[in-house]
Structure 1
């Protein structure tokens, strides 16, 4: 096993101590406002009410550019969740027209010819350095298949399966998509900009509108990365599945941070601060930490790697004919290690059997799987799927509760009907 997870953990512990001591700098927001956000998060107060708007069927959404037909998406405020059943006829990669949308405000329309990336800050050897879109595309390119998943994916299941209230957008399991991203290594850009040995944090900032919550202007979406991660496998991507990035997915350039929670994958990147001192923003203090019983008052360390999940490519309440053979399909993924095994149960968890993996398990991607089923008795039923990754972790029966409903990883009960 590589040492990267340990270095991430050490980084998080250090930042948590610095946050508690007040020795880290609040980037673009008053520290008192950050403390207020932390207090609200610990009480499960909704932080961005628009994001918690009820789901509705629609073909558009305020702030989303692409069509959102109800057979493909469930609209949730300024966000759009992929209906998992809509992935059944797709391959390993999620087509852009079915890829979920997570917006904090609205999708901006940015002309690549007018766009530039500014790299600046006290962690550089010299002054600010600008990169045009064409200059960025002229640098050596790399491709990487990776999923992007909201940290709150599965949030509604804390309530529907475990009876616990949480705040935030009521995602089921469709706040995830996997794509083939092409772009430039962030590390290459930082080295060309002159990153110095004193740099400790790298802060990408989006070009979408500023976020206002409860009368407090949180500024544009931004979240620091440790230098070690920024110089490792992070991508400044400008293509998705062989095409230029669509507006809703970060055009002209976005970050791809493999295996990390979605908020780290900043869309519409406009500038990157390289800092010689620790940085704090709303998105690694009051947001994207775990709060609640069992966590310190200031919350857990900021979230980094995604957790382990499985989902059937079926609508809720899907109907099956008794006495006939059916092919069950689904997907499993983990931010910690490639998925090693998937098991399914068609009797509510009494008997488990291995599913057939359709893809070679790879870090940062999901695997598709299938299982045969011949239901014998008419009536309601429950299907279950659970994955085990190469680190040895298996999906638990219950997810650890936290007030904002992050990192749900429990086995999901999928209701069906046999007729």
Structure 2
């Protein structure tokens, strides 16, 4: 393990500044405020990209870092230094990364169901332009065998301890078919080297899957001819409770559809004048094909105008114009449909850990006379 590359972390769990106009902080995690994206563009700048840490951000010396590839699914286990990786042919892709618990708070606030975990609204998601080496290329250089089944990256962040149990470093197996398809070993974010909080020097980017799979600060990858598991597939990131199987559902993979307004929570708007309501929708299952917006709590709906890029692994921007007729409290809703025909429901299936909330979110606004 390349532990010598890890420098003593900073005093707090997150390195970058967390100004309150950009973030809501949840312990070792930081949620992007959606109003921070208004007028910013398609990609989320690194200074406002959400942070999901199980422990704390390590500061890693790229010159000392190495990526170790090992396991029974390789013919020629080997390691790569940072400069070696940068010298390989690269790809650049727009990809959304989203925490599996994004929207968890609405199980409680909207559906009045008790769940555990970080109480995210919708700010634990973001699209960036990632550049790196296809994982497939690195696996082939290490001699991946036809019998390989699973690929498990492991991070260099501190071990995760919960309820007195040391679960080790964050790691999560990926089936070989996915690993060879579209996974990237990324070293750039929006044209710059990865910042510490987002995986410097190298992280995985696993398109369309829950954020856990996109392991940050990756230090080694096990390639196995036998199925692999970790606490992040056996104890966490599975559907438990409700109508799910007694032992829990399978490990989570693809993230569900969501929509968010680029507004402060509880925004205040002026009556009697037009407002352009902007937002973004996304789905791990495919491109967004339509978005509908309601300004009266769901009593009526009208189509939003989609504009800009429609990237399957990222998100789609949209807007509608609304002229609130009178002062008072209103509830805004947005629901997306993706290319599989799936539309966001009005209620999300319950699970104890609050994963994959995909229901239409009820966004409160207050209209005042000015």
Post-superposition offset of 1:371: 0.4
The equivalent residue for 1:151 is: 100
The equivalent residue for 2:126 is: 177
Does residue 358 in structure 1 map to residue 298 in structure 2? no
**Equivalents in 1 of 2:20, 2:343: separation in Å?**
33
Post-superposition offset of 1:323: 1.2
**Equivalents in 2 of 1:248, 1:109: separation in Å?**
9
TM-score (norm 2): 0.96
**Equivalents in 2 of 1:256, 1:269: separation in Å?**
11
**Equivalents in 1 of 2:13, 2:39: separation in Å?**
28
**Equivalents in 1 of 2:274, 2:129: separation in Å?**
34
Contact 1:61/1:68, CA 8 A, preserved across alignment? no
Question: Can you give the 5+ residue segments of structure 1 that lack an aligned partner in the other structure?
Answer: 1-59
The equivalent residue for 2:343 is: 394
The equivalent residue for 1:17 is: none
Contact 2:94/2:311, CA 8 A, preserved across alignment? no
RMSD of equivalent CA atoms: 1.0
Contact 2:297/2:333, CA 8 A, preserved across alignment? yes
290-299 or 334-343, which deviates more: 290-299
Secondary structure of the 2:59 match is: coil
Secondary structure of the 2:60 match is: coil
The equivalent residue for 1:312 is: 261
The equivalent residue for 1:98 is: 48
**Equivalents in 1 of 2:309, 2:302: separation in Å?**
19
The equivalent residue for 2:210 is: 261
Secondary structure of the 2:185 match is: strand
Does residue 286 in structure 1 map to residue 235 in structure 2? yes
Secondary structure of the 1:237 match is: strand
**Equivalents in 2 of 1:286, 1:388: separation in Å?**
32
**Equivalents in 2 of 1:62, 1:104: separation in Å?**
13
Contact 1:184/1:235, CA 8 A, preserved across alignment? yes
Task: From the superposition, tell whether residues 259 and 418 of structure 1 become closer, same or farther in structure 2 (CA, over 3 Å).
Answer: same
**Equivalents in 1 of 2:186, 2:83: separation in Å?**
13
Match of 1:87 among 30, 34, 37: 37
The equivalent residue for 1:52 is: none
Post-superposition offset of 1:297: 2.0
**Equivalents in 1 of 2:170, 2:266: separation in Å?**
37
Match of 1:138 among 78, 84, 87: 87
Does residue 206 in structure 1 map to residue 158 in structure 2? no
**Equivalents in 1 of 2:167, 2:270: separation in Å?**
52
Post-superposition offset of 1:350: 1.1
**Equivalents in 2 of 1:64, 1:99: separation in Å?**
12
Does residue 186 in structure 1 map to residue 135 in structure 2? yes
Post-superposition offset of 1:298: 1.9
The equivalent residue for 1:405 is: 354
**Equivalents in 2 of 1:96, 1:76: separation in Å?**
18
Bigger proportion of residues as helix:
1
**Equivalents in 2 of 1:318, 1:222: separation in Å?**
39
The equivalent residue for 2:69 is: 119
The equivalent residue for 1:75 is: 25
Question: Can you give the 5+ residue segments of structure 2 that lack an aligned partner in the other structure?
Answer: 1-9
Does residue 247 in structure 1 map to residue 196 in structure 2? yes
The equivalent residue for 1:334 is: 283
TM-score (norm 1): 0.85
